[in-house]
Amino acid sequence: MQVKKEQVRLSLLKKAEKEFLEKGFKNSSLRKIVKSAGTTIGNFYNYFENKETLFEELVEEEYNNFLELIEKHNDEEGIEEFLDTEDLQKYREVLSEIIQNIIPVFSEKFVLLIEGSEGTKFEGTKDIIIKLLKDHFIEHIQKYESKIMDLEMAEITAEQFLNGIILIVKKYKDKVLRHRLITEHILFYISGMMAIIGK
């Protein structure tokens, strides 16, 4: 009695994503995932090695996309130039366009990767990203402001910046709204940082 293989597999992934998002990896019950996907525990193990593999499969691609984004961004020096303007409305527009390209990275899977990965091999991802962001912040500030940013504030700001994006993605499913809110969020952070460094 065989159902098309891909169908079961996709159903499992979909229901797992839902459960993992709601409860995180550790608190998710494989039994419940499997049940809501309409198959059985035993069959699950025909598709995935174990609970962790299931999680990894959900998140792996996202993780790689993100790494890629980071790398590309490191090459693309010059973004900041656009941002070096006094006209806030202009700022917004430029930002919005930049975000347009980045936003696909900020998906539910990304939330999973950052917030739901405790107990998996991805559980350090959030820290890695925060470190990247922190270094990024410090570097840019030094470059443009000739002021040393407070190390602790840099770290806090980095984590908060990330948290904000996660928060928006979790709360708002509508793409347009999400885009606008992320833009505002980033704008908010740029303004805040400028205030801190006393510009």
Partner DNA sequence: AATGAATGAGGGTTCATTCAT
Partner DNA sequence: AATGAATGAACCCTCATTCAT
Q: What is the contact surface with DNA in residues (CB under 7 A)?
A: 1-3, 5, 8, 28-32, 39-43, 45-47, 49-52
Question: Would you state the structure tokens that stand for residue 52, as one six-digit string?
Answer: 């962790």
CA dihedral 31, 58, 176, 86 (to 10 degrees): 130
Q: How far is the CB of 4 from DNA (least distance, A)?
A: 7
Binders in 36-55 for a second copy, by CB under 8 A: none
The option from DNA, a second copy, none interacting with 181 (CB < 5 to 8 A, set by class) reads a second copy
Q: Mark the segment that binds a second copy (CB under 8 A) among 60-68, 97-105, 131-139, 158-166.
A: 158-166
Q: How far is the CB of 43 from a second copy (least distance, A)?
A: 13
Q: Mark the segment that binds a second copy (CB under 8 A) among 54-62, 66-74, 135-143, 184-192.
A: 184-192
The option from DNA, a second copy, none interacting with 45 (CB < 5 to 8 A, set by class) reads DNA
Q: How far is the CB of 113 from DNA (least distance, A)?
A: 19
The option from DNA, a second copy, none interacting with 149 (CB < 5 to 8 A, set by class) reads none
Secondary structure letter of residue 50 according to DSSP: S
Give CA–CA dist 109/105, Å, rounded. 9
> Is residue 55 a contact partner of residue 25, using CB atoms and an 8 Å limit?
yes
Where does 37-174 have alpha helices with state H?
A: 41-47, 51-75, 79-83, 88-102, 108-115, 125-145, 151-171
Give CA–CA dist 162/4, Å, rounded. 39
